[in-house]
Amino acid sequence: MSKMFDGYIDLTITSPPYDELRSYDNQVMGANPKFNGYTFPFEKIAKELYRVTKRGGVVVWIVGDSCVKGNETGNSFRQALFFKQCGFNLFDTMIYSKPPRGAVGNNKTYWQSFEYMFVFSKGSPKTINLIKDRENKDARNGDNGTKRLKNGELLKLKRGGYGALGRRTNIWEYNIGKGHSTSDKIAHDHPAIFPEKLAKDHIYTWSKVGDLVYDPMMGSGTVAKMCILTERDYIGSEINKNYCDIAEKRISQGVLQYDRNEIETL
């Protein structure tokens, strides 16, 4: 990231290593053997993300907390507040919900089934395409009506209708695991991928065709693959060479497998 110009990136979508929730392949530079994972310079990354993000650009930071002896770390909140300190707006706190399926947690709490998707913006987001796929219960065509004024007269009105589909809520639910997050078998060699559809939905919402999208912790290359399929440019960084290899194989396979119509059905 340090090699990027200021204001270079339109949209970042990323999911950093959360506390010690996942055990990554740690046989590489940057590994912290104590945690069987990585330490990563969070504050440096957050400041750099602010620098490289265009005015009006967006960063989607997908993160959860671990619980140590009945005490959640709260690191996701600490990180969100630090992004604000860097200058970002906390534009929306969204939820990535997953139906219970081997989710993390313990048997004293309710089943843990979500992560945060913090949406930060540098100023106001320059692109917002809200996805409309929530069925409106009271969908109706527009019609004519009247309103009685204070002086007793009737004012004729045209009432707007409601479309069959309204904008969705900021809680997005995705099935996860093999056959759900992706049909690319190779991607599951990475222990903590997020669903392709989640990446696609954020790409559609916060960017335009031709924009530059970045994932600083790209893992198996989910964001990169979805950028190819939605005609965005992309850059990814990943500390682990094995995961880079997975991403490279997956991306070339993705280009071969899909066309633009098929992506709409994901």
Contact set with ligand SAM (CB under 6 A): 15-17, 24, 30, 38, 40, 190, 192-194, 217, 219-220, 222, 237-240, 243
For residue 220, the minimal CB distance to ligand SAM (Å) is 3
**Least distance (Å) from ligand SAM to the CB of residue 192?**
4
Terminal Cα distance for the chain, rounded:
31
Q: How far is the CB of 52 from ligand SAM (least distance, A)?
A: 14
In angstroms, what is the minimal distance from the CB of 24 to ligand SAM? 5
Residue recorded with tokens 């002086």 = 151
Closest separation in Å from C-beta 155 to ligand SAM? 55
40 or 77: whose CB is closer to ligand SAM? 40
Q: How is residue 258 written in tokens?
A: 């899909």
Q: Which is nearer to ligand SAM, 79 or 220 (CB)?
A: 220
Question: What is the spatial distance between Cα 138 and Cα 151, in angstroms, rounded to a whole number?
Answer: 32
Crossing angle of helices 42-52/75-86, nearest 10°?
40
Residue 179, classified by CB atoms within 10 Å of its CB into exposed (0-12), middle (13-18) or buried (19+), is exposed
CA distance 233 to 252: 15
Query: Under a CB-based contact definition with an 8 Å cutoff, are residues 45 and 92 in contact?
Result: no
The nearer residue to ligand SAM, 40 or 56, going by C-beta atoms, is: 40
Q: What is the DSSP string of 159-188?
A: E--B-SEEE--SEEE---SBTTTBS-GGGG
What is the rounded (10 degree) CA torsion for 9, 194, 80, 97?
130
| Closest to ligand SAM by CB, 122 or 250 | 250
What does the block give as tokens for 190?
Answer: 């990475």
Instruction: For the CB of residue 22, give the shortest distance to ligand SAM in the complex, in Å.
Output: 7
CB of 111 to ligand SAM, least distance (A): 21
Residue nearest to ligand SAM (CB): 219
The nearer residue to ligand SAM, 23 or 109, going by C-beta atoms, is 23
C-beta of 94 vs 217, nearer to ligand SAM: 217
C-alpha distances (whole Å) from 218 to each of 15, 52, 157, 210, 241 are: 8, 17, 53, 19, 11
- Nearest to ligand SAM of 10, 19 (CB atom): 19
